[in-house]
Amino acid sequence: MSELTIGEISKPRFEFRTFGQNFTEASYRMARLSVPVPEKLWCRESDEIYIISSTNDLNNTKIRDGKMDIKSYVQTVNGLEQWDPKLKAVFPLSKTRLIEEIFPAFMVDLPALTQDSYCLEGFLAVIENHPDLQAVNIHKQRYAYMVNDTICELANVLVNGARIVSINSESTQIEDIQKTISDLKLTGVENINYLQAIKRVIGMKNLPLAN
């Protein structure tokens, strides 16, 4: 059994994550079952911008701490999704990088790019003018735990100001996540990733969250 450390890069992890309005029982059990985690991880807050594409469900694309971050979907095994970190690029981004790496991840037609490089504001202006893309402001307040050697989290998430709650378990070991789902009494709850949750909240997909 491989051990994971919160915040460290590992081989692509499998993830269970869901979103809704209330996970009181699951979060209580998560806190009670967790081993101690470093104090710096007890509560973390961040402001991020997700780039949501009407044609893409395979690449998680977001901006955090002045970097473009892309994770790509690999596979689903026993209902758990595996995602692989593909790119972390610091702004400004070159026109070549936008053409070869960034816009292919959005899976949309390439817009006219008239500059050799794009700062964050210039890049967001391109996104705003694209008919298939939308920049969504996300604020996260995340509480970290470790249950059954899986990285767990309870998060209060604001999606353009709308509050939802997320709870998750991540690991390279599928069996450990399955045990955690059972221990948290989340068996049967829909696995919803960030892309899907945001699309549901902003009305790009007409589907409910888990509760």
Does 57 have pLDDT greater than 90?
A: yes
Calculate the alpha carbon distances from 16 to 184, 197, 199 in Å: 12, 13, 18
Instruction: Say what the pTM is.
Output: 0.93
**1-15, 45-59, 180-194: segment of lowest average pLDDT:** 1-15
Q: What is the pLDDT of residue 56?
A: 97
| pLDDT > 70: percent of the chain | 95
Place of tokens 């709850």: 189
Please state, in angstroms and rounded to a whole number, the distance separating the CA atoms of residues 158 and 88.
Answer: 23
**5-9, 11-15, 143-147: segment of lowest average pLDDT:** 5-9
Q: What is the pLDDT of residues 66-123, one digit of tens each?
A: 999 999 999 999 999 999 999 999 999 999 999 999 999 999 999 999 999 999 999 9
Beta strands, E only, the chain: 13-20, 44-53, 59-64, 67-77, 80-90, 93-94, 117-118, 133-147, 150-159, 162-171
Q: Could you tell me if 164 and 21 are in contact, meaning their C-beta atoms sit under 8 angstroms apart?
A: yes
Candidates 210, 198, 191, 168; CA nearest to 80 is 191
Q: Could you tell me if 133 and 106 are in contact, meaning their C-beta atoms sit under 8 angstroms apart?
A: yes
